[in-house]
Amino acid sequence: MYIDTHCHISKDDYDNIDLVIKDNIDAGVNIMIVSGCEEKTISEAIDLSKEYDSIYVTIGYHPDQVGVVIDENIDRLKELLKTPKVVGVGEIGLDYHYGKDDRDKQIELFEKQLMIAEEVNLPVVIHSRDATEDTINILKKYKVKGIMHCFSGSVETAKIYVSMGYLLGIGGVVTFKNSNLYKVVEEVGLSSILLETDAPYLAPAPYRGELNSSKYIPIIAKKIAEILNVPIENVGQVTSENAIRLFDLQ
């Protein structure tokens, strides 16, 4: 069995969610952790978790919501984190890819949510893009555990996060021809890895550029099995155990 620890499932992207979830389960992906990271998708994700046994949820404001989120949203987030099957805070973090004029505000939003995660004792799902140094320095201030979502950094950076107790979310990027992520997988091993698709984005090869779905998790697992020279069943088992432990899944 596999767990997709990070995906987005929304009616905006899929015509028939029933069918998508059925396909995922048929592919051996028994649990999907859906990330709601703006006001609308937070509500949608929680609704899905009520409708489907196989869906758990993490909620938090993505850094691209920095101009939108007001105090009321943060208060609501805090309330919603008490909902059954909401198992983490995220994705939250820093994204410096599109310029730097809102960095201070991103940091403020990030830290507010880290404080909440610490308070409610839930793991965090971290989005960090072109912001490694700030992300590391900020995370060091909070007693939280979590996952570096869609990790694609260097071996050095991977080692730092692992030493801080973070797990690395490995997704479709590991299957891309030009990716150096295999070096990270070799270095940290299965004990520090979680599987994720980030669907509907980042479909693995040979579906790169197409609509992604959790049903492609076994493709990612197969690649990791090849890199580490272990049976694919081990990849499924160990990464599932890692996810169950981190998110305290029942």
Cβ 9 to Ni ion shortest distance, Å: 11
Q: Which residues pair with 168 in a beta bridge?
A: 148, 193
For every residue of 130-159, DSSP letters joined together read S-HHHHHHHHTTS---EEETT----HHHHH
Nearest residue to Ni ion, scored by beta-carbon proximity? 198
Stretch that binds Ni ion, among 20-28, 112-120, 195-203, 211-219 (CB under 5 A): 195-203
Choice between 95 and 198, CB closer to Ni ion: 198
Please identify which residue in 162, 198, 215, 243 interacts with Ni ion, judged by CB under 5 A: 198
Cβ 63 to Ni ion shortest distance, Å: 12
What span, in angstroms and rounded, lies between the C-alpha atoms of 155 and 153? 7
Stretch that binds Ni ion, among 78-86, 169-177, 196-204, 216-224 (CB under 5 A): 196-204
> In degrees rounded to 5, what are phi and psi of residue 33?
-105, 110
54, 32 contact by CB (below 8 A): yes
Cβ 114 to Ni ion shortest distance, Å: 18
Cβ 110 to Ni ion shortest distance, Å: 15
Question: Cα dihedral sign for 249, 114, 80, 17?
Answer: negative
Q: Which residues pair with 193 in a beta bridge?
A: 168
Cβ 131 to Ni ion shortest distance, Å: 15
Q: How many residues interact with Ni ion (rule CB under 5 A)?
A: 1
- Locate tokens 């046994």: which residue? 53
For binding to Ni ion (CB under 5 A), which residues are involved?
Answer: 198
